[in-house]
Structure 1
Amino acid sequence: MTATAIDGAAAVRAMVRPPTFPDREFRLAGGGGDHTDAFREAIDACHAAGGGRVVVPPGDYLTGPIRLRSGVDLHVSAGATVRFRREPAAYLPEVPTRWQGVELMGYSPFVYAYGERDIALTGGGTLDGRADDAHWWAWKPLEPADFALLERLVDEGVPPARRVFGDGYHLPPSFVQPYRCENVLISGVTLINSPFWQVHPVLCRNVTVTGVTARSHGHNNDGCNPESCDGVVIEDCHFDTGDDCVAIKAGRNADGRRLAVPCRNIVISDCTFADGHGGVTIGSEMSGGVEHVYASNLRMDSPNLWTCARFKTNSVRGGFIRDVHVTDVTVGRVRDQVLEIDFAYEEGDAGSFPPGVDGIHLRDWRVASTDAPWRLAGYPRGPIGTVTLTGIVIDAARSPAVARDVTDLRLTRVTVNGERLG
């Protein structure tokens, strides 16, 4: 990493500290049947006592939504599996949430917190969303019409509290979503079979995601999506997903501009990436802007990983991406390209808010196999700014690099197919 990136990452780590909890323990009651009430009662008792740890012992537990409260560490022990009910009605009444960057009242995320501080989901256990082609993922063909209605309500100025998308609608909830929370820890758990985005902190401060395995291959099964957050550390995680592995977000279109809250001060380190659309991704919901991202010591390898570093936006989104550093990356196979910056994602150049993308830095990469080294495409009326590639070695690339409408592409010690390009 350069000195700038090292200093930036160190500053983020200095500001992000995992919460601590009183030495007080509550154990979830066992037994068969539905444990929704048992989770609620244990969490409420822990919170009322001043905080501590709610321990889920080894075993199987069926539940509806779990709501975390301030001062509570929900510890899912190794050997414990928490399985979530499949009936959408179990996730009502609706709660304030975000769906693809737009605020609404929707189905409760499976593990949810709103306006809390000092919360955690920890342990070596498994959370199974039990989504499959007959449950939650089956809504895929119905989502576009409902989301179009939601966006129309935004354009008409309907406030979020009146954008109610519960019974009869088909916008599945995130798996784990702290919303407007401060001091959040998610550590050690394995997430499988998610209905939608897996780890999705929204409008939070001071978030640590460590030692998490996100393994789910359904529609929109992104691994970890911090959205409009300030201070996030993602480390020692494994991603094997049906969509982007890590995707940094900041709201979508008019609703994202209404809130205008950037996602900033993000560290991603010592993670592994298998299947996914993108490894380290920013966008496409980035209307509030993304800045100060420091990713390092990453390993990526899968014929089903589309892109290693992926930046996607358009002139409907607007917003900015700046000061992004992705360094010390080892790549086995990647399907499409190592780096993609795409200004024509989804809607293309159909809006009045050309995005600003500048200060994208990749350094010290070793890549075994890819289709193209990079594909960069800005707008003639609003090109991509500075992109630096330093110390990049790509052993085998089947297609040439593409760079269109880029103001300043700098290549230093870049080798592709044995040929030195800069």
Structure 2
Amino acid sequence: MKFNTFFTISLVLCCISHSFSQNASATLAKSYDTYENIEFKMDKVKEPVIPDHVVSIVDFGAVNGGKVLNTKAFEDAIDAVSKKGGGKVVIPPGVWLTGPIVLKSNLELHAQTGALIVFSTDKKRYPIIKTSFEGLDTWRCISPIYGKDLENVAFTGKGVWDGSGEAWRHVKKSKMTATQWKDLVASGGVLNAKKDTWYPSEQYMAGINNADQNVRHDLKTKEEFEAIHDFLRPVLLSIQNSKRVMLDGPVFQNSPAWCLHPFMIEDLIIRNISVRNPWFSQNGDGLDVESCKNVIVENSSFDVGDDAICVKSGKDKDGRDRGVACENVIIKNNIVYHGHGGVTVGSEMSGGVKNIHVSNCTFMGTDVGLRFKSTRGRGGIVENVYISDVFMTNIPSQAISFDLFYGGKSIAEKLAEGTTSIAAKAAPVNEETPQFKNISIKNVFISDAYEALFLQGLPEMNLNTIEISNLVAKAKKGVTIVDASNLKLNNFKLDIQDETIFSIYNVKNMTLNGIEMNANSTKAMTIDGEACQNIELKTMPNFNLSKNATIHKSVAKNAVKMK
């Protein structure tokens, strides 16, 4: 079989189908009476109900041009509709400079086409508050867009919300061109001792010392955090502990940290939006849906500096103590142009993640396509995840990745260090042990990737009950499976450059069925590890167990069978 020809035909046909699905879905974007082809029972997502009162920020003294601070005009406009029980605040075309906007219930902010809301770069305008960041309870600067304990909030229109993130973030020299780096250094700020990282201020550089993924565990009081105020960069939009929230239409961009962080929201609709962060932006996630229930993310695009669409539920003890799962989430008809992961689950999943549907998504140039990550210490259970019809191209690392030894680095960084495959000793199982189970992935097309599939569980808690079907992939490396149980891999068509296409270590109860691959080597499949058992190879054209496999001595006799 000519794999390239097969792949090209398959990808074209599926992209045509994908385009049709997007157009049809866009037409029916506001129809949520039924959910077709959803694998779990999910209540109808409720849209916010906004009273019919309308004002413009211009009515309250807002001045166009990006020079005059309009914080009070936004505040007064929001107060005016709130006194009437709620309503719509219109931001007309223009450039509107403002400080933080504090949301209220029953509020719609409608940014018309041509409206650009730019948040002030004066960090003194962003007081620090108790909040959650990176899944932990901590202190951070208030978000440019902030709300808590609300009902009925909507962002509509085609305007742009810009977080002025360039004033907040540090930048690595390796992520910029020589000219960009020269201009950045000349703009102010400070460099580290190695001259390879730029910081906005001395206070920021002091704050990042002793930080664990941007959180300082050694500081306890508000006064201690205040001393590193510049370092406590916020997410652009933070809405917490609320009901019926909708983002429909706008562009959200240039965030200081994560872009959109809905946290503990019931009934969340995100559709028809664009999320943009510079590709070099540190922690520049697109959307982090954390501990939310009943969620739809659809018909949107993401081009960001970290994971694009993320599902989370808190980190370590803070997440376990909160105990609020992220559940009933539909992610469909989205495009990711750049990011560390297209759709990501974790690594903050300590409160649990369940009932996730992903379909008709396209990833172009993301470090990883489908990314599942956690590590010892998290705890939590990820289960009932259903993914279908995903299309990927130009993936520089792993198209599908399960990494239970995540340590805060991107897959690309780990590949550069040569540390992606880890054979580890079993640790005791307790509340800190994460579990990933009952996950289905089907109809995936990968035109170009470094590695098609990487599955790495824990020896004490294997990846469990994972089925992957109908996968077509062209990649340098094939499939790596470590510490996994109860796997079904069906109908793969693999065009792999390396001579080893399958690398299997300590895998139990696995069936490979209908696997077509360019197996020309005695190492096309390597199987190792004394925990291996009950591995069945079925209907595998062009593969001969005695000629194309290397089974190491550690593997028990009859652990591998070909039928």
- Give the aligned residue type for 1:19: P
CA distance in structure 1 between the aligned counterparts of 2:123 and 2:150, rounded to whole angstroms: 25
Residue 168 of structure 1 aligns with which residue? Answer: 228
Structure 1 residues 228 and 152, CA, compared in 2 at 3 Å: closer, same or farther? Answer: farther
Within the candidate set 267, 271, 274, 1:213 is matched to 274
Counterparts in 2 of 1:3-402, with a 5 A limit? 6-8=37-39, 11-12=41-42, 14-29=43-58, 30-32=62-64, 33-92=68-127, 94-132=128-166, 134-137=167-170, 138=199, 142-143=207-208, 145-147=210-212, 150-152=216-218, 165-166=225-226, 168-169=228-229, 170-217=231-278, 218-302=281-365, 305-346=366-407, 353-394=432-473, 396-402=474-480
* Contact map agreement 1:264 1:292 (CA 8 A) in 2: yes
- Give the aligned residue type for 1:411: L
User: Shift in Å at residue 143 of structure 1?
Assistant: 3.3
Matched, 1:413 2:476: no
Structure 1 residues 402 and 96, CA, compared in 2 at 3 Å: closer, same or farther? Answer: same
CA distance in structure 2 between the aligned counterparts of 1:106 and 1:331, rounded to whole angstroms: 36
CA distance in structure 1 between the aligned counterparts of 2:293 and 2:302, rounded to whole angstroms: 22
* Contact map agreement 1:104 1:162 (CA 8 A) in 2: no
**Matched residues, number:** 406
Structure 1 residues 390 and 220, CA, compared in 2 at 3 Å: closer, same or farther? Answer: same
2:77 counterpart SS class: helix
Structure 1 residues 149 and 388, CA, compared in 2 at 3 Å: closer, same or farther? Answer: closer
* Contact map agreement 2:169 2:282 (CA 8 A) in 1: no
User: Shift in Å at residue 44 of structure 1?
Assistant: 1.2
Q: Deviations over 1:266-325 (max 9, x none)?
A: 1101000111000110111111111111010111112xx111110110111121111111
- Give the aligned residue type for 1:277: H
Matched, 1:403 2:447: no
User: Shift in Å at residue 31 of structure 1?
Assistant: 1.5
- Give the aligned residue type for 1:334: I
CA distance in structure 2 between the aligned counterparts of 1:118 and 1:145, rounded to whole angstroms: 40
Structure 1 residues 175 and 166, CA, compared in 2 at 3 Å: closer, same or farther? Answer: farther
1:127 counterpart SS class: strand
Structure 1 residues 285 and 163, CA, compared in 2 at 3 Å: closer, same or farther? Answer: farther
- Give the aligned residue type for 1:404: V
User: Shift in Å at residue 66 of structure 1?
Assistant: 0.6
User: Shift in Å at residue 355 of structure 1?
Assistant: 0.8
User: Shift in Å at residue 149 of structure 1?
Assistant: 6.8
* Contact map agreement 1:127 1:190 (CA 8 A) in 2: yes
* Contact map agreement 2:138 2:215 (CA 8 A) in 1: no
1:55 counterpart SS class: strand
Q: Deviations over 1:153-173 (max 9, x none)?
A: 6xxxx7xx9697345241210
Unmatched tracts of structure 2, length 5 or more: 1-34, 171-198, 409-421, 497-514, 518-539, 541-563
CA distance in structure 1 between the aligned counterparts of 2:211 and 2:446, rounded to whole angstroms: 41
* Contact map agreement 2:168 2:233 (CA 8 A) in 1: no
CA distance in structure 2 between the aligned counterparts of 1:201 and 1:397, rounded to whole angstroms: 35
- With the length of structure 1 as denominator, give the TM-score of the two structures: 0.91
1:181 counterpart SS class: strand
2:46 counterpart SS class: coil
Return 192-201 or 94-103, whichever deviates more.
94-103
- Give the aligned residue type for 1:254: K
1:172 counterpart SS class: coil
* Contact map agreement 1:249 1:263 (CA 8 A) in 2: yes
Q: Deviations over 1:118-159 (max 9, x none)?
A: 011111000111122x53333685435245874356xxxx7x
* Contact map agreement 1:266 1:292 (CA 8 A) in 2: yes
Which structure has the greater CA radius of gyration?
Answer: 2
Unmatched tracts of structure 1, length 5 or more: none
Q: Deviations over 1:52-102 (max 9, x none)?
A: 10000000100111111000001111100000011211111x333211011
Q: Deviations over 1:325-381 (max 9, x none)?
A: 111112122111121111111189889522100012111112111111111111111
1:363 counterpart SS class: strand
CA distance in structure 1 between the aligned counterparts of 2:56 and 2:254, rounded to whole angstroms: 26
1:165 counterpart SS class: helix
Identity among equivalent positions (%) equals 29
* Contact map agreement 2:129 2:140 (CA 8 A) in 1: yes
- With the length of structure 2 as denominator, give the TM-score of the two structures: 0.69
Structure 1 residues 380 and 5, CA, compared in 2 at 3 Å: closer, same or farther? Answer: farther
- Give the aligned residue type for 1:31: V
CA distance in structure 1 between the aligned counterparts of 2:108 and 2:224, rounded to whole angstroms: 30
* Contact map agreement 2:38 2:357 (CA 8 A) in 1: no
1:46 counterpart SS class: helix
User: Shift in Å at residue 249 of structure 1?
Assistant: 0.9
